[in-house]
Structure 1
């Protein structure tokens, strides 16, 4: 038997076979984590109802996850929350690339210069996954904690990334993308979105004008790697009354400058926008 030639990560002979049967108990545990992660805490009965499972089944799953540190319960409110071990493992995703580390100083500078929250996001399965944030000190602010997902067509970072893709990739994403309207200003028709992507390319940054949330605006642009590919987007977000029409071009200038700095640090060269 030639053990040394076996492909790592897959059983021998896996290629070409039908997908293996999934493990039901593992599916339930992962479903539970996915439901719990975006919440502010859930009771046992709420979890069971949300997942259409019995209380007894969910109690066993929670006990198992709690023992491993993936969930924890607040004794005061009897609600369950994501545990530190889930955070630790999730953070391994961010260590796959140094774009987060390279972006943090620029994001802090953008927050100080504009007075608004700076965000970093990447595209995952046709959505924007926020991976880092530097919050403003203002009490009223945009809030996209790491792990938040947002539709691309109603996101500053999303539109910036879409505007940078080649025609094949862009058309593939647009065909799969439901252009759901969130506010009266959401670009929910394909011609409107395509026109906005053209404007984004021309000025070098995108502008989300209350398209996801009424009262909030966002300016964003792309970060490129050594191959010149857009690997992430960086943005500044805040309330409409502070991000006035007159202030938007200045934010656009600052965010382009910041994105160029990060891109250079990632090895990018030549024309970036």
Structure 2
């Protein structure tokens, strides 16, 4: 004879699977407690219970459960509860997915239209530039970087733009990840010369790849900053030297820098200084 299955432990006897009521009340109460703790700067069990209109016993069980996952911390000395490192790690996943590509898309489309050149978005990973998005110009001769394409940091407009805003030792460490390979006669391979170039980039807010990776192609780039004012990505416009002449650098530099600042603001970042 088949055994009658017992009720799943923890399920209330009055449980009914109604499509119009799909929330979990205990989870809802727990999240309400977490919000209360996050709004305070250290709260006692009694204060949290009163603020949430819940019994101290219920709140204590919730806090203890959160504590097992480091979502909250209990200070034995003050007997107060605080938000823990676990909550920060979970929240950081939002910061990691601040929709950089999505937030950049409209800005990049405008960059492409106003400059007439291909707009690019890239980050640095393990000492290399990785292109993660691109809006191509309609010109027959144009730059093209398939998303996922990697390139050398020292011979990239975006790479140099990001490096320029890294602490000097971090920039040196990034550069030492590999030899500074020469791709063209314009490639900067001397570290001291490159560091001087980074000073120039910081002073004006944008970088130039002057045929340093590919003969006949130029790029103007600017950095994008996160909430800690750290350069985490960059945008650029790139195209052939017959169109992207040195005489356009200042205008394109301002265009790209303003675009990068707009994206920084859209992802909740802040500019250094």
Q: TM-score range by the shorter chain?
A: 0.5 to 0.7
The structure number with the bigger radius of gyration is 2
* Runs of 4+ more than 6 Å apart: none
CA contact (8 A) 1:153 1:179 kept: yes
Match of 2:201 in 1: 200
Cα separation, 2, equivalents of 1:224 and 1:165 = 11
Q: Which SS does the other structure have where 1:109 is aligned?
A: helix
Match of 1:174 in 2: 175
Match of 1:122 in 2: 123
Cα separation, 1, equivalents of 2:170 and 2:179 = 16
Q: CA deviation at 1:168?
A: 2.4
Match of 1:265 in 2: 266
Match of 1:33 in 2: none
Cα separation, 1, equivalents of 2:182 and 2:153 = 12
Match of 2:256 in 1: 255
Match of 2:54 in 1: none
Q: Which SS does the other structure have where 1:130 is aligned?
A: strand
Q: Calculate the TM-score normalised by the size of structure 1.
A: 0.63
Match of 1:211 in 2: 212
User: After superposition, what is the alpha-carbon deviation per residue over 1:169-213, rounded to whole angstroms, capped at 9, x for unaligned?
Assistant: 112112223100000000011122111111111111000000000
Match of 1:112 in 2: 113
Cα separation, 2, equivalents of 1:6 and 1:126 = 37
Q: Which SS does the other structure have where 1:144 is aligned?
A: coil
CA contact (8 A) 1:260 1:272 kept: no
CA contact (8 A) 2:230 2:272 kept: no
Cα separation, 2, equivalents of 1:151 and 1:160 = 13
Cα separation, 2, equivalents of 1:119 and 1:263 = 15
Q: Which SS does the other structure have where 2:263 is aligned?
A: helix
Cα separation, 1, equivalents of 2:123 and 2:164 = 14
The alignment yields a C-alpha RMSD, in angstroms, of: 2.0
Q: Which SS does the other structure have where 1:246 is aligned?
A: helix
Q: For 1:19-168, what aligned pairs fall within 5 Å after superposition? A: 96-168=97-169
Cα separation, 2, equivalents of 1:200 and 1:131 = 23
Match of 1:79 in 2: none
Q: CA deviation at 1:272?
A: 4.2
Q: Calculate the TM-score normalised by the size of structure 2.
A: 0.63
User: After superposition, what is the alpha-carbon deviation per residue over 1:110-154, rounded to whole angstroms, capped at 9, x for unaligned?
Assistant: 000000000000011000000000000000000111010000000
Cα separation, 1, equivalents of 2:68 and 2:215 = 55
Cα separation, 2, equivalents of 1:171 and 1:192 = 12
Cα separation, 1, equivalents of 2:100 and 2:235 = 11
- What number of residue pairs does the alignment pair up? 182
Cα separation, 1, equivalents of 2:261 and 2:196 = 25
Cα separation, 1, equivalents of 2:68 and 2:267 = 35
